[in-house]
Amino acid sequence: MAHTDTQEIRELAAMPGEPTHRGFESLRPIGTIESKIFSHIDPRPIVPALGAEISGIDLSRAGPAAREELKQALADRKVLVFPDQDLSPHQYADFLKIFGTPVKEDIAVDENHPPEVGAIHTRPNEQQQINYWHMDHSFRELPTRVLSLYAKLLPPAGGDTLFASLSAAYDALSDEMKERIEGLHCDHRMTPTQNTKRRYTKEQAEAMANAPPIVHPLVARDPGNGRPYLFVNVPIYCRGISELPNAEGDALLRKLYRHVQRPEFHFRLIWRPNTVVVWENNHTLHYPVSDYFPHERKLWRGVIEATEADRPTAAGPRGRI
C-alpha cells in the first residue's frame, strides 16, 4: 500500500486554496481556573480554547461572592454553561444583572416577562435562517458585550449552538500573518437578517444599512483578560479592510473568517431543557445550527450592552498590549 504522508492528508482534507496546519500548540493555559482561585463556584473547562460548565449552583440563590466569581469566570472562559436551572423570568433577569445592566429586549418579548427578558422563538414550520458563524452587532461602535439564552422549549434533537474563541484564533496565527494584519481595521456595516424585521422598522433598517461603516481594529485587546483577539465577523457585517483594496481585503478577511471556524477554537453546546448560557458576544463568534425544521424551539434571551470601557481598541505589535 502506497504511503501517504501526513502533510498530504492535510492538503487533501483542506478546501482548495486553504492553508494547511500541523496543529495548534499555542493555546494558552486555562488561567484562573487552573489556579483554582474559585471557592464559591466550580467551573469545569469545556475545551481548552473557551467555555466552562458550572454545576452545583442555584442561580436564584447566588450570593455576592459567587456573583463576583461568575464575573471573573466569564472574563476568563468567555462562555458559561449552567445545566438544570429553575428560574422565573424575574429571577433570570436578576441573574443577568451579575454581568451588567440588561437592556429592554425588543425581540419577541413575552408579555408576562420583565422587559429585560426576551425570547428567541422559532415557531412550528418556521425555518431558522441564521446558520453561520457571527457576532451580534459588530456594526455598532460598542458591540453588545454579553448575551444569554435559557432553554425553555427544544426540538427532539438539534438546534445546537456553537461558540468560537477569537483569542485562541489569534494566538494560532503564524507570525507572518500576525505581522501582515497588524494595525489594520475593518469596515463593519449592518445587513438585514431574519431578525431585522422583528427588531427595527423598515426605515430604521435602511438607514443603518446605508450609514457609513463603523471602523474597528482587526486585532483588538480584550479589556477583561488583556489578551489580543481577532476581530472578524461574518462577511454580511464585516465588509472589508479599511486600508486595503476591496478584492485584497475581502480575500484576507475570508481567510481569517474561515480560520476562526477551525474546531480547535470552538465547542458545540447541545441544549438540554433549562440550561442557561451566558457568553461574551464581543470576544467570540457563535453559530446557531438550523437543523430542526419543522419543530419549535424557544429560548429566553437577555442582552447586556457594552460600556465605553468595552470599546474595541487596537492591540499593540504582534498582539502585545
Could you tell me the smallest distance in angstroms from the CB atom of residue 155 to Fe ion?
Answer: 18
Place of cell 442582552: 303
For strand 297-304 and strand 146-153, is the pairing parallel, antiparallel, or unpaired? antiparallel
DSSP string for 160-223: -EEEEEHHHHHHTS-HHHHHHHTT-EEEE-----TTHHHHS-HHHHHHHHHSPPEEEESEEE-T
Indicate the residue whose CB is closest to Fe ion: 136
Could you tell me the smallest distance in angstroms from the CB atom of residue 303 to Fe ion?
Answer: 10
CA torsion through residues 186, 189, 192, 197, sign: positive
Site stretch for Fe ion (CB under 5 A), options 79-87, 129-137, 232-240, 313-321: 129-137
Does 182 contact Fe ion by CB under 5 A?
A: no
Site stretch for Fe ion (CB under 5 A), options 132-140, 162-170, 193-201, 292-300: 132-140
Site stretch for Fe ion (CB under 5 A), options 19-27, 106-114, 128-136, 255-263: 128-136
Please say which residue, 161 or 275, places its beta carbon nearer to Fe ion: 161
235 three-state secondary structure: coil
Please say which residue, 136 or 250, places its beta carbon nearer to Fe ion: 136
Write out the binding residues for Fe ion, residues 184-223 only, by CB under 5 A: none
How many chain residues interact with Fe ion (CB under 5 A)? 1
Please say which residue, 65 or 107, places its beta carbon nearer to Fe ion: 107
Please say which residue, 137 or 178, places its beta carbon nearer to Fe ion: 137
Please say which residue, 136 or 264, places its beta carbon nearer to Fe ion: 136
Does 250 contact Fe ion by CB under 5 A?
A: no
Please say which residue, 72 or 148, places its beta carbon nearer to Fe ion: 148
In the set 136, 160, 182, 305, which binds Fe ion (CB under 5 A)?
136
* CA 247 and chain centroid, separation: 27
Question: What contacts 24+ positions apart, CB below 8 Å, involve 235-239?
Answer: 236/134, 236/191, 236/193, 237/134, 237/135, 237/138, 237/139, 237/188, 237/189, 237/190, 237/191, 238/138, 238/186, 238/187, 238/188, 239/186, 239/187, 239/188, 239/189, 239/213
Does 160 contact Fe ion by CB under 5 A?
A: no
Residues of this chain that interact with Fe ion (CB under 5 A) are 136
